[in-house]
């Protein structure tokens, strides 16, 4: 296997590629074979992708200059002191809506010009789709397993909005890190012909 084939194989097997690929395949099947079963699978694939993409975006942010509270939010951790004074790390579940708003606040702190419109229809679709996801994952009755046409549209629109949001957060993170490192790292020296000295 040459380098090009290895790179392509990596792309095919990468975490993000698999998550988004599941959404695409599930949506494609749904467009040909619409059923409650396929709708449930598609909503589940969408929210698995959202959770995974969010994890990727947050892990990239851990290199930013963060205060301890922000670092804890990104890691979804809290701390507790036991009776003997032992400090323990606890996993802290943060609901997606709050988690996302916290991430926006962190990005705004390091990139004050960054704006996110929580009045955007895609955000509203995501919030409504999240309720559908919860209903499907914790059903109490038969009706909880159905996904209406409008709920399916919300799930797909919410995913598209979230995908754009994730890309924005990654771009803002990268821009911030480039600014920080450009102040710290020496600039490459140039030869007389303009090439970088390595």
- Other Cβ atoms less than 10 A from the Cβ of 137: the count is 12
**pTM for this entry:** 0.82
Q: Is residue 191 part of a domain?
A: no
Q: Is residue 173 part of a domain?
A: no
Q: Is residue 104 part of a domain?
A: yes
Structural domain range at position 103? 3-163
- What pLDDT band is residue 23 in, cutting at 50, 70 and 90? very high
Q: Is residue 131 part of a domain?
A: yes
DSSP single-letter state for residue 120: S
Total number of domains constituting the chain: 1
For 10-19, 36-45, 121-130, which range has the lowest pLDDT when averaged over its residues?
A: 10-19
Q: How far apart are CA 107 and CA 110, in angstroms?
A: 5
Q: Is residue 65 part of a domain?
A: yes
Closest-CA residue to 61 (of 75, 78, 47): 75
CA 10 to chain centre: 20
- What pLDDT band is residue 194 in, cutting at 50, 70 and 90? low
- What pLDDT band is residue 150 in, cutting at 50, 70 and 90? very high
Q: Is residue 178 part of a domain?
A: no
Q: Which of 65-69, 93-97, 126-130 shows the highest mean pLDDT?
A: 126-130
Question: What is the rounded average pLDDT of the residues 80-98?
Answer: 91
Q: Is residue 171 part of a domain?
A: no
Q: Is residue 181 part of a domain?
A: no
């Amino acid at each position: 296997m040459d380098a090009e084939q290895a790179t392509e194989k990596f792309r095919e097997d990468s975490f993000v590629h698999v998550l988004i690929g599941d959404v695409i395949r599930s949506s494609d099947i749904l467009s040909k074979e619409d059923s409650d079963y396929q709708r449930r699978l598609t909503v589940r694939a969408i929210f698995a992708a959202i959770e995974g993409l969010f994890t990727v975006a947050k892990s990239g942010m851990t290199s930013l200059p963060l205060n301890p509270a922000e670092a804890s939010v990104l890691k979804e951790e809290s701390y507790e002191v036991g009776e003997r004074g032992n400090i323990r790390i606890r996993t802290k579940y943060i609901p997606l809506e709050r988690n996302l708003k916290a991430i926006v606040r962190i990005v705004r702190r390091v990139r004050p010009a960054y704006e996110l419109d929580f009045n955007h229809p895609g955000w509203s679709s995501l919030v409504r789709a999240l309720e559908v996801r919860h209903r499907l994952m914790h059903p109490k009755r038969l009706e909880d397993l159905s996904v209406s046409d409008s709920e399916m549209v919300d799930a797909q629109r919410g995913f598209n909005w979230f995908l754009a949001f994730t890309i924005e957060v990654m771009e803002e993170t990268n821009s911030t890190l480039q600014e920080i490192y450009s102040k710290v790292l020496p600039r490459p020296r140039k030869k007389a012909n303009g090439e970088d000295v390595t």
